[in-house]
Every structure is written in C-alpha cells, then in structure tokens.
Amino acid sequence: MPKAPTKKVRERKKEILALLQKRPLTTSKIADILDCTLSMAYYSLKLLRSEGKVECRRGGKALVWMLK
C-alpha cells in the first residue's frame, strides 16, 4: 500500500500547479525552477496526473506537462 505524500511533496505539487497555470513546461524545466531532481519533479507530476489535474504530451524526447 503506497504511503501518503509527505508535506514536501504536497508543497511541490502546489508549486507545480502554479507554474503550469502560466504555461506548459517540460519535466526538466519544472525541476530547474523548483531546484529539485528530475525524479522528484517527475514523481510529483505523476501524482498530479493520477489525480486528474495535469496531462502530458511528448515533445520530441521531453514530456511537456499542462493543466487538464
């Protein structure tokens, strides 16, 4: 059974949603802006996608994330 997201993950999800309100962004750009690792950003984005709040499209080699 998965653990509940930590406070830091919940905060990061809120920050990501605020960023994506402005424009779609790649996983690496989100990680750069939030000063976190790619895997940390991707984990939060996957949680948001499973909650139905964001979606992604492949832009070349990168995933581009946007609000649903």
- Compute the distance between CA of residue 58 and CA of residue 3 in angstroms, rounded to an integer: 29
Segment 9-30, tens digit of pLDDT: 999 999 999 999 999 999 999 9
Segment 29-54, tens digit of pLDDT: 999 999 999 999 999 999 999 999 99
Q: In the chain, where are the structural domains located?
A: 7-67
Task: Measure Cα distances from 1 to 4, 14, 19, 58 in Å.
Answer: 9, 24, 30, 30
Q: What is the topology classification, in CATH, of domain 7-67?
A: Arc Repressor Mutant, subunit A (1.10.10)
